[in-house]
Structure 1
Amino acid sequence: MIRHKLFGLRVSTLTLACLVALPGIAMADEAREQALEQRINDLEKQLQNLAAEIRAQREAAPPAAPALPAGKLPIQLTTLTPGSPAGTTVKIGGFIKADFMATKAHDGQLADAAVGRILYVPGQTPVGGDSSDVDYDAHAKFSRFNIGIDNVSESGDKAGAFLEMDFFGNALGNQTSTNTYGVTVRHAYAYWNNWLAGQTWSNFMDTAALPDSVDFIGPTDGVIFVRQAQIRYTTGGFSASLENPETTVIPNGGGGAAASDRGAVPDLTLRYGWKGNWGSFGIGALFRSLDIDRAATSSAAAISDSEGGYAFTVGGKWNLGSNDDLRYQVTAGDGMSRYIGLGVTGDAALSADGNLDAIGGFAGYLAWRHVFSSQLRMNLIYARSQYDNPIDLTGTAVNESVQSFRANIFYSPMPKLDVGIELMRAKRELESGVDGSLTRLQFTTKYSF
């Protein structure tokens, strides 16, 4: 009996102890749960803060550009042409060029408004007169700016456009006060893969062979120099184009060549070029239809005639080492004068009965370029063209030949900045044997962008 009571007492005591301990256990579990919930809340706040920082960084910085192959420049990340397809890029360029020149005509005088006062025009060299005083001219009208638009589609098709302008337009002011000139279009064309349409350099011209000169053109007497509207197809080194036709005609008996904007056949040009570490070389051909079509007047009968014209050219650049190169071009044909030297003579002469006679000739230049250092270089340039005028139709007062020699030196104190000085001696001779010469010292500054 006593044992049972003792056992019951022990059970009761243990039960009482458990009952007393249960609230403490429950309180301890509740504290741990509260601490865990607090840690979870703290972690959620930290995650929210981190997410906010990531969003802010993404909004503040543009997306990283994709990796590019070695040697490739990155494209623009944001288009400047929102109306264009995705991936369109824009390039803006040009230069500011100022020219200062002192000119002496030894056998006459250049007129005040002559184009030959601002750049060398072979056909304007005065002949058969008295020597003039030195004339000083300065201008910045050959400064230019351009914009290019290019796009490559997902399928690999290439398209784009190019527009370039300078300030060689007619004077809108005068040299007394404003020296204002109009903006003129140099290039304006669009392209799609192998095709080009618009105004740019003639396909007959080799721009890669042009030498470095202070004058606007340089070897003007013997160089092909034409910009005009055309449709061109290019594949590899070969290109062909149909270009705007224009015929210059010397009146019967002589006089200045007059333009005849007639004819239904565009000028056809063909060119093939090669390039390598040795330099470049190209051959070209020009085929033309020379046309005149004038209605009868009270003093002259109607005139309508056509004559074929053609020319062939070779030229390029030959690297003589790391510091020297030769640039050259030779052109010959009939009825090609409009393409040479800013029109030294006419493409054709007009007979008394209204027929055209194409004028033959040849032209060319040779230029040596030497680089002293990355900042200093020099050029020696000789250019000439000569024509076989039918003097029974043109008379003897037309240009037989023009030529010039020039030496220049350029200093580039920093990239894109050129300072140059050039001395030129030029000569023009008529079919009569009368001639004239011109000397010009020209200084230029040019900053490209």
Structure 2
Amino acid sequence: MSTYKLALAVKAATAVLAFGMASQASAISFKAGDVDASIYGYTRLNMTYDIDENIAGPAQEGHFSKIAGSSATGHFGASANQSRIGIRLKNPDGVKLNVEGDFYSGTFRLRHAYGAYNGILAGQTWSNYTSFVGNTSVLDFQGPAGNAGLQHRQAQVRYTTGKMSFSVEDPKGDLNSGNGMVAKDSSPALTARYESKFDGGAFSVAGLTKQNSHDNGISDDSAIAYAAFAAGKIALGDSVTLQGAVNYTNGANKYLYQSNADDAYLDGTGNLENISGYGGSLGVSFKMNAGSSINAVVGMTKVDWDDALADGLAVGGESETNRNILVNYQWVPIKNVKMGVELSNWYTDRVNGTDDDANRIMFAAQYNF
């Protein structure tokens, strides 16, 4: 394969967030006066069979928080809640607008609502502290633990210049409620990200900082939190790609994807103490004929609860390690239609030494427009 074709292949791969992303190429485009407009989206059916306990969410996606060691096994479920629709507009001055939603909760849910012009974006869209270049294509809406950054959408103002982008965002996080904690958001989250492509691959690095705060009207304290990740993808020959990410957080565990951990706690002397964690994911994809592929990925997060436990907080039931493994086969029977089957294992290890896992099978059918 030529380096030009290889670069195009990697560019296409990194543009797709996962199996669930609608194809822009198949959008319905038209003119509305002097405005270029397109309507896009997909309908999506997810069916799952939870071999062990039921850990499915509204779109039949897996959740670590639902792993409880239940002896009730064998659960079937189906949902079309992941289906979505969106509209993009661009006027002659170069102003871009995007509004998109899905039906994840059973009713319409806003995903994106923003405007962008001359490098400045304002509204709600993917957090700047997110990258998809290291993601492996999976069927599960949640995907592997340890993917790069928040993997979610936040209200923000972002400035992009070249390969660098900076943002001021609505902060994401939870503080442990023990010892009379009264949490408040006292600052935005500040992010910076650099993302680039090279022959045969792509990479992204990012950093984030925010302030964790407690104030009960009598006493107060705060602590600076921070996080960083690196993610990348590289082609190994004509049909194989290797991709992954590594993450570290200190007081910003909501940005450690699927760790489900608090950011900080209040110790017995009234001081706010950050909780740290790390994680990552590593996957491989094999492209086959007619748009089909085989994908496998393992993801993991680990949170350090030792100080909170030593300070007497009741954190024994908290997850210390979350790990999942997902393997799927995807195929394209006809243009704009994609289907797949996936087998996954979800495992959690708690602070108190107990651990449980759950196995599940998923089938998905997606029709893009």
TM-score, normalised to structure 2, is 0.85
Post-superposition shift, 1:208? 3.0
Letter in 1 for 2:102: D
List per-residue Cα deviations over 1:318-357 (Å, max 9, x = no partner).
1112211111110112012112234521011222343321
Distance 1:190 1:360, change over 3 A: same
Tell me the SS of whatever aligns to 2:133: helix
Kindly report which structure 2 residues correspond to 1:310-321, keeping only aligned pairs within 5 A, or say none.
310-321=226-237
Distance 1:188 1:130, change over 3 A: closer
Distance 1:96 1:216, change over 3 A: same
More helix by share: 1
Task: Kindly indicate whether structure 1 or structure 2 has the higher relative contact order, using CA contacts under 8 Å at least 6 residues apart.
Answer: 2
CA contact (8 A) 1:239 1:272 kept: yes
Tell me the SS of whatever aligns to 2:175: strand
Q: Partner residue of 2:333? A: 413
Matched, 1:292 2:214: yes
Distance 1:184 1:240, change over 3 A: same
Q: Partner residue of 1:164? A: 100
Q: Partner residue of 1:238? A: 164
Distance 1:443 1:152, change over 3 A: same
Tell me the SS of whatever aligns to 1:250: coil
CA contact (8 A) 1:247 1:259 kept: no
- For 1:77 and 1:217, locate their aligned partners in 2 and report how far apart those are by CA, in whole Å: 30
1:322 to 224, 238, 245: 238
- For 2:113 and 2:259, locate their aligned partners in 1 and report how far apart those are by CA, in whole Å: 23
Post-superposition shift, 1:266? 0.8
List per-residue Cα deviations over 1:220-266 (Å, max 9, x = no partner).
35443221001000011000001102431123379xxx994421x21
- For 2:73 and 2:190, locate their aligned partners in 1 and report how far apart those are by CA, in whole Å: 45
CA contact (8 A) 1:287 1:310 kept: yes
Matched, 1:103 2:29: no
Q: Partner residue of 1:402? A: 322
Post-superposition shift, 1:217? 2.8
Post-superposition shift, 1:100? 0.3
Tell me the SS of whatever aligns to 1:216: coil
Distance 1:446 1:145, change over 3 A: same
Q: Partner residue of 1:213? A: 138
Post-superposition shift, 1:151? 2.5
Matched, 1:79 2:1: no
Q: Partner residue of 1:60? A: none
Post-superposition shift, 1:123? 2.8
- For 1:281 and 1:136, locate their aligned partners in 2 and report how far apart those are by CA, in whole Å: 38
Distance 1:342 1:77, change over 3 A: closer
Q: Extract unaligned runs of 5+ from structure 1.
A: 1-72, 170-180, 296-301
CA contact (8 A) 1:100 1:442 kept: yes
TM-score, normalised to structure 1, is 0.71
Distance 1:77 1:400, change over 3 A: closer
RMSD over aligned Cα atoms? 2.4
Q: Rg larger in 1 or in 2?
A: 1
Post-superposition shift, 1:303? 4.7
Taking only the aligned residue pairs, the percentage that are identical comes to 27
CA contact (8 A) 1:104 1:132 kept: no
1:123 to 47, 65, 68: 65
Kindly report which structure 2 residues correspond to 1:179-198, keeping only aligned pairs within 5 A, or say none.
181-198=106-123
Distance 1:152 1:325, change over 3 A: farther
Number of aligned residue pairs: 338
Letter in 1 for 2:78: A
Distance 1:261 1:163, change over 3 A: farther
- For 1:205 and 1:438, locate their aligned partners in 2 and report how far apart those are by CA, in whole Å: 27
1:441 to 338, 361, 369: 361
